[in-house]
Amino acid sequence: DVKVTQSSRYLVKRTGEKVFLECVQDMDHENMFWYRQDPGLGLRLIYFSYDVKMKEKGDIPEGYSVSREKKERFSLILESASTNQTSMYLCASRLLAGRADEQFFGPGTRLTVL
Amino acid sequence: GESVGLHLPTLSVQEGDNSIINCAYSNSASDYFIWYKQESGKGPQFIIDIRSNMDKRQGQRVTVLLNKTVKHLSLQIAATQPGDSAVYFCAEAFTGGGNKLTFGTGTQLKVEL
């Protein structure tokens, strides 16, 4: 079974802090994704990566950056956390580049910014 | 069904009844569609997918119907069980768009005993 893990289930940070959310997948998937999920808005794509050291902006990249130094790990970075970044963050991975296919999701990290 | 907005649509069904969850997608070029189930406190889980060259696909207790003419997708769950209670999302993708998935806002399914 594909396993996507996220470093924390719950996280509380203060405004202005730098926040790292880590995601690891164990199935040698090329593609990885970061979404945020808010009530009534569904899942919105922040950033994605087709392969190591590659990154592409999603629909709402402002206030975020990402890092993909190794194939299995995709990190989401909030350089200076703000209260409007309080949300559920979901990481996903997918096997093949260039092909619409099932994405496997991690359990999510619920981030609260005070 | 799913819609854009701040309130999550809710569908309540009796245990044992069939459930139908609807989704209107936006991009006529989309050629791949997925239904996900998200239980409380968990990430979305794949249920079933369908490609645009099909109009129906069946899985175990679930059926997805695709109507490309009106850009409509539905998920039918037969003999709904308490374990089916969750939020259901549809997602669309098209090959020319980098295969990024665009998700609907979700429908909350509540199964009443």
pLDDT tens for residues A17-75?
999 999 999 988 889 999 999 988 889 999 999 889 999 999 999 999 999 999 999 99
Partners of residue B7 in chain A, C-beta under 8 Å: 40
- Counting Cα atoms < 13 Å in the Cβ hemisphere of A57 gives 6
Evaluate whether B76 touches B60 at the Cβ level (below 8 Å).
no
CA distance A106 to B49: 19
**Percentage, residues of chain B above pLDDT 90:** 69
Higher pLDDT pick, A100 / B46? B46
CA distance B102 to A38: 15
Residue A102 pLDDT: 78
Higher pLDDT pick, B39 / B8? B39
Return the structure tokens found at A81: 């956390």
Partners of residue B6 in chain A, C-beta under 8 Å: 39-41
CB nearest to B105's CB, from A41, A92, A104: A41
